[in-house]
C-alpha cells in the first residue's frame, strides 16, 4: 500500500475535517479573533491531523505486510484466517469473524472433497485389482485354444489390461498420496517388462524393437517407469509408419541416465508438439488413426514429475518421434 493509495482511499475523511476547520477559522475571524491566535490554532490542528493520518498509514501498512508474510509462508493458503492474530478494532474484528466463518466452511468443503477423492481412488485401485482376476483366468483359458483365435484373444486381453493400467495410474497420479518406491533398477528389466506387457500389440503391428546400452542402473519406481515406457511403446505402435522400428537406447549423462525411445513413425506436426502433454489432447494423428484417448502422454508427464524424470519429445512429421527420459542421479532425489 502506498501513501497515495491510502490518501485517495480516505479522501472524504480527510477533506471533511479540513473543510469544517476552515469554516471554523473563517467564523472565528469574522467574530474578531486575532490572526496570530488563528495561525497558532491552524498550525497545531494541522500538525495533529497529519500526525494521526500518518500513524494510521504506517500501522495499516505494517499490519498488511505482516498478513502478507503469513499468507506467503502458508502451505495451505485457505487456512489463512486460522493463523492470523485477530484485529483490535470492533468493526475489523466483526469483518474478520465473517471471513473466518467463510474460511471454515471452505476448509470443510476441501477436506470433504479430499476424502471423497481418496475414497474414489481406493475404489478404483480395488476395482483394478478385482478386474485382474478374471483377466488372469481368461489368459489361462486362452491356453486351451489354438493358434489364431488364441493370439487374437490374447491381444484383445492385452488391450483390456492397457486400459485398466491407465485407469489405475490415472487414479494414482491424481491423488495427493503417492505410493511409489524409488529403488535401484536395471533399465534392461524395465524395458523388457514394458515390451512384454505390450508384446501382442507390437508383434501384431509388425514392429521390430531394437535395444541398445540398456545395461545401466537407474533409481526409480520400477512399476511407474514400466508404465511410462509402455505408454511410449503404445504410441509408437499406434502411430507407426512403413517397416516400423522402435529403438530404445540409453546413455549415461554425467550421473544421470538418458533413455531415448525413438520410432520411424508418422511423427507429430510441429504446431501440435507444445500441446501433446495436455489432458485429452489427441491431435490430428489421434483423429486420423482413432483409438486415441489423449491420456497417455498426460499421465506420463504427471508421473514423470513425481519421479523427477525429465521428459521431452521431439518429432519430425512423417519421419520420426524421439522421446527422451532423463533419470535423475541418486543424490538428487529428494524423496528417497
Partner 1 sequence: MQKIMIIEDDPAIREELALLLKNEGYTPLMVTEFTDVPGQAAQERPDLILLDIGLPGKDGFSLCAALRKVSLAPMIFVTSRDAGVDEVRALSLGGDDYITKPYSVPVLLARIKAVLRRSFGEPEPSDILDDGKLRLSLTKGTVSAGGGTAELTRNELQILACLMAHAGQIVSRADLIDTLWDNQIYIDDNTLSVNMTRLRGKLAKIGLPDAIKTRRGMGYQL
Please report how close the Cβ of residue 193 comes to partner 1 at its closest, in angstroms. 10
Residue number with CB closer to partner 1 (41 or 245): 245
Distance CA 62, CA 3 (A): 13
To partner 1, the closest distance from the beta carbon of 187 in angstroms equals 13
Cα 103 from Cα 292, distance rounded (Å):
42
Q: Which is nearer to partner 1, 161 or 272 (CB)?
A: 161
User: Is the distance from CB of 167 to CB of 132 less than 8 angstroms?
Assistant: no
Helix (H) or strand (E) holding 248: strand 245-253
Residue 75 or residue 144: which is nearer to partner 1 going by CB?
Answer: 144
Question: In the bound complex, what is the minimum distance in angstroms from residue 144's beta carbon to partner 1?
Answer: 8
Instruction: Evaluate whether 261 touches 236 at the Cβ level (below 8 Å).
Output: yes
Residue number with CB closer to partner 1 (183 or 271): 183
Sequence-distant (6+) residues with CB within 8 A of 190 are: 218, 220, 222, 225, 226, 229
We find the least distance from the C-beta atom of residue 129 to partner 1, in angstroms, to be 4
**Closer to partner 1 at the Cβ: 236 or 276?**
236
Q: Which three cell numbers stand for residue 109?
A: 468443503
Contacting positions for partner 1 (CB under 8 A): 128-130, 132-137, 139-144, 147, 151, 157, 161, 179-181, 183, 192, 195-196, 199, 202-203, 206-211, 221-223, 243-244
Q: Where are the beta strands (DSSP E) in 31-162?
A: none
Tell me how far apart the alpha carbons of residues 238 and 236 are, in angstroms, rounded to a whole number: 6
CB 302, min distance to partner 1, A = 17
Amino acid at each position: 500500500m502506498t501513501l497515495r493509495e491510502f490518501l485517495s482511499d480516505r479522501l472524504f475523511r480527510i477533506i471533511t475535517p479540513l473543510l469544517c476547520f476552515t469554516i471554523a477559522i473563517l467564523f472565528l475571524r469574522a467574530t474578531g479573533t486575532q490572526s496570530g491566535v488563528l495561525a497558532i490554532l491552524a498550525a497545531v490542528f494541522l500538525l495533529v491531523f497529519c500526525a494521526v493520518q500518518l500513524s494510521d498509514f504506517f500501522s495499516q501498512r505494517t499490519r498488511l505486510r505482516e498478513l502478507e508474510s503469513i499468507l506467503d509462508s502458508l502451505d495451505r493458503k485457505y487456512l489463512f484466517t486460522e493463523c492470523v492474530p485477530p484485529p483490535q478494532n470492533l468493526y475489523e474484528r466483526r469483518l474478520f469473524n465473517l471471513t473466518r466463518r467463510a474460511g471454515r466452511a471452505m476448509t470443510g468443503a476441501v477436506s470433504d472433497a479430499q476424502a471423497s477423492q481418496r475414497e474414489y481412488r481406493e475404489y478404483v485401485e480395488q476395482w483394478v485389482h478385482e478386474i485382474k482376476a478374471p483377466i488372469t483366468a481368461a489368459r489361462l483359458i486362452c491356453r486351451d485354444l489354438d493358434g489364431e483365435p488364441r493370439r487374437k484373444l490374447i491381444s484383445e486381453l492385452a488391450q483390456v489390461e492397457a486400459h485398466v493400467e491407465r485407469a489405475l495410474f490415472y487414479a494414482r497420479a491424481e491423488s495427493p498420496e503417492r505410493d511409489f518406491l524409488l529403488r535401484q533398477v536395471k533399465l534392461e528389466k524395465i524395458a523388457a517388462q514394458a515390451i512384454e506387457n505390450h508384446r501382442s500389440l507390437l508383434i501384431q503391428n509388425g514392429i521390430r524393437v531394437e535395444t541398445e546400452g540398456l545395461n545401466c542402473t537407474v533409481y526409480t519406481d520400477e512399476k511407474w517407469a514400466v508404465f511410462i515406457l509402455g505408454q511410449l511403446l503404445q504410441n509408437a505402435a499406434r502411430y507407426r509408419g512403413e517397416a516400423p522400428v522402435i529403438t530404445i537406447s540409453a546413455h549415461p549423462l554425467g550421473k544421470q541416465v538418458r533413455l531415448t525411445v525413438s520410432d520411424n513413425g508418422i511423427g507429430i506436426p510441429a504446431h501440435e508438439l507444445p500441446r501433446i502433454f495436455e489432458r485429452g489432447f489427441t491431435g490430428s494423428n489421434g483423429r486420423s488413426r482413432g483409438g486415441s484417448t489423449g491420456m497417455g502422454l498426460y499421465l506420463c508427464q504427471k508421473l514423470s514429475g513425481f519421479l523427477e524424470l525429465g521428459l521431452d519429445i521431439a518429432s519430425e512429421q512423417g519421419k520420426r518421434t524421439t522421446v527422451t527420459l532423463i533419470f535423475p542421479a541418486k543424490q538428487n532425489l529428494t524423496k528417497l
